[in-house]
Amino acid sequence: MQKASLKQRAYEIIKDKIINCEYLPNTFLNESILAEITEASRTPIREALNKLEQENLVVILPKKGIMVSELSINDINMIYQTRQLIETHVVKLYGDKIDKIELLNLRQELQMQMLKRQENNMPLKEIYRIDNDLHMLFINKSGNRYYKQIMEQIYSQNQRLRALAGVKVEKRLEETHKEHVDIIDYLLDDKIEEAVKAMAVHLENSKKATFASFMTL
């Protein structure tokens, strides 16, 4: 396998374990264990860790080791402040550029998601994937690669918060579903200002729920 492929594989494996909290915040990573898990040598692993440090998922501490970055109340504030600024902005500017068929398909996927969830037939990881797909739809529609880069990092941190909250988010999942459908319905009706307000409300509610979950950890 080529060096670039080894680095990418190591990066993806380690990142997945971090954002899903198999590797918890403030814990140290063992390079020997990472080598065994990723089936990569020291060089690709260190290159992957350097990339993860740039994304604020690990901290490289000289003479101490590699630590998974912490999550704090301040991080939650910064995450949701960024989301409010960018996500409401892109809905306002690009909400009317999204194909209606694409919106209808996503709405149908959300409805199927809720049915499966009620039957206990859909893992949280899949629910979060659909959630991210909705939010990234707006970001991608902007065509702004800097927005995309920022938000991909933000969503990685957001996934860590979700993973830490675990089963405490069940009620919030139902509320989120309704909020997502409301946003889509406003866009389908070409009510952009209402969609912007619905997105702002959704993010504020998510922030409050995240704070509540975080405080009980």
Q: Give tens-digit pLDDT for 172-217.
A: 788 888 999 999 999 999 999 999 999 999 999 999 988 888 877 6
Domain total of the chain? 2
| Strand-pair partners of 68 | 58
| pTM for the whole structure | 0.87
Q: Could you give the CA distance from residue 186 to residue 143 in angstroms, rounded to a whole number?
A: 22
Interval 86-113 mean pLDDT: 92
Interval 87-105 mean pLDDT: 93
Q: Could you give the CA distance from residue 58 to residue 40 in angstroms, rounded to a whole number?
A: 19
Q: How confident is the model at residue 169 (pLDDT cuts 50, 70, 90)?
A: low
150-159 pLDDT, tens digit per residue, is 999 999 999 9
- Give the pLDDT score at 217: 65
Torsion sign, CA atoms 106, 111, 112, 118 = positive
Residue finishing a domain among 68, 97, 112: 68
Q: Are residues 169 and 126 in the same domain?
A: yes
Q: What residues contact residue 134 under an 8 Å CB cut-off, 6+ apart? A: 106, 110, 180, 183, 184
Q: Could you give the CA distance from residue 81 to residue 96 in angstroms, rounded to a whole number?
A: 24
1-25 pLDDT, tens digit per residue, is 555 688 899 999 999 999 999 999 9
Domain harbouring 135, CATH code = 1.20.120.530
Q: Which residues of 70-97 are buried (b: 16+ CB within 10 A; e: fewer)?
A: ebeeebbeebbeebeebbbbbbbebbee
Q: Are residues 64 and 114 in the same domain?
A: no
Q: Are residues 77 and 45 in the same domain?
A: no
- Domain that residue 37 falls in: 3-68
Q: Are residues 95 and 58 in the same domain?
A: no
Higher-confidence position of 172 and 168: 172
